[in-house]
Amino acid sequence: MDPQAFIRLSISSLGLRYPEKPGIHVFSSPCTCEIRLRGFPPQIASIPILSSPEATPDSHIIASSFYLEKSDLKALLTPGCFYTPQACLEIVVFTGRKGSHSCGVGVKRQQVGTFKLDVGPEWGEGKPVVLFSGWIGIGKMRKSLAELHIRVKLDPDPRYVFQFEDEAKLSPQIVQIQGSVKQPIFSCKFSQDRVAQVDPLNNYWSTTCDGTDQETERRERKGWKVKIHDLSGSAVAAAFMTTPFVPSSGCDWVARSNPGSWLIVRPDTFRPENWLPWGKLEAWRERCGSKDSIFVRFHLLSDGQDGGELLMSEILLNAERGGEFFIDTDRQATSNSNIPSPQSSGDFAGLSPVAGGFVMSCRVQGEAKRGKPMVQLAMRHVTCVEDAAIFMALAVAVDLSIEACKPFRRRFRRGNRHSW
């Protein structure tokens, strides 16, 4: 498998100081910054205020990351319009919070200053490079100069890119994409309810209906299973429902109080006929007025005897349009305190050690349009084809959770046998 070139742009070691008044916090409210790069959504990060002039922020704390592929670099290095001829990384620092209130009085967000770094040819060389590291004055406030500490670094971060050639329920082929070339790598087999007697997954699988009971289907979705096969036809990963997706009491959708769940499994290295649990995916529907979301939570299961779970991702997906599920230890840790830091995330279930940063992403469609999931996987977490297969099984579980979390209310016409 040949990876595609990606570049990781990381912004870390953020800190703010007021050198002319050491030891005095001249900012009366929290400081944040908007990190902007042309062609990407702006990212928000908090900035600690340092009272000691000798203090230096921790360089391992990543505030923000951008991942650039070949087309992104080409767009950034191409001169823009008359007003912005050259692309740049821009970090705008504010004191206060936009739209926040304190004791009923609005707290006005005030701009402290701006840091800019032009995009240059070195961005496209594919080599590790520190673009900036240290203190820099960013603007005047209260007749004194505020200084920002920042570290900006580029690192090559190659990825494998995969796509399902059809909907997961149609048992499609999975291809690897390298430029315009599509190479078959896996196939997946979807099944529901009926399970062969010699299926090795029967140790984990439980079914009670034969798929013909429409009334049961109207109130629960269970027994869904997908196996991932390599080109030789051997099953190398699988995902199956362990908790049915059923409407919670008093409503007609899968709610937080009773989420549906999947178990992601892989073959035992020493006994390939046996399967080992690798991860657990939970999903439910969040009702937010006229716009619903699907909440997806993924835990990595410990290989040890303690049966521990490590929370790796919590994502809200738009129920109608879909979105991106991802595992990124930096991106999650900065937005959710429940996600482990890179230093505590340990070994990713037999794959390469997680040193922080991007692990995988899966882009899925929503209820309005059933699509073909697109998966990106960091090369450093893949030592063999089987390593990639387990993430394909996880991607299938995410994609099918969108459908499994659809509301259960229906209007049947005479002769209509569709359950949803």
Q: Which domain holds residue 168?
A: 159-404
Q: Which of 156, 180, 197 is the last residue of a domain?
A: 156
- Is there a single domain that holds both residue 223 and residue 322? yes
- Is there a single domain that holds both residue 39 and residue 120? yes
Q: How far is CA 373 from CA 69, 261, 347, in A?
A: 19, 19, 26
Let me know if residue 418 belongs to a domain.
no
- Is there a single domain that holds both residue 186 and residue 109? no
Helices and strands of the chain, counted as H and E runs: 4, 22
- Cα 289 from chain centroid? 25
351 phi/psi in degrees, rounded to 5: -90, -170
- Is there a single domain that holds both residue 90 and residue 170? no
Q: Which of 47-51, 99-103, 410-414 has the lowest mean pLDDT?
A: 410-414
Let me know if residue 231 belongs to a domain.
yes
Give the count of domains, the chain. 2
Let me know if residue 25 belongs to a domain.
yes
Let me know if residue 416 belongs to a domain.
no
Let me know if residue 152 belongs to a domain.
yes
Q: How far is the C-alpha of 170 from the C-alpha of 140, rounded, in Å? A: 61
pLDDT one-digit tens code per residue, 88-108: 999 999 987 665 444 444 557
Let me know if residue 360 belongs to a domain.
yes
Stretch 124-128: mean pLDDT: 91
- Is there a single domain that holds both residue 365 and residue 266? yes
Evaluate if residue 383 carries a pLDDT over 80: yes
190 phi/psi in degrees, rounded to 5: -90, 140
- Is there a single domain that holds both residue 252 and residue 282? yes
Stretch 56-72: mean pLDDT: 89
Q: Which of 94, 125, 156 is the last residue of a domain?
A: 156
- pLDDT score of 339: 53
Residues in the chain: 420
The top-scoring range by mean pLDDT among 282-291, 335-344, 398-407 is: 398-407
| H helical segments located in 289-409 | 329-333, 385-404
Evaluate if residue 272 carries a pLDDT over 60: yes
Q: Would you say 229 and 236 are in contact if contact means Cβ atoms under 8 Å apart?
A: yes
CATH number at residue 95: 2.60.40.150
- Is there a single domain that holds both residue 89 and residue 165? no
- Is there a single domain that holds both residue 119 and residue 232? no
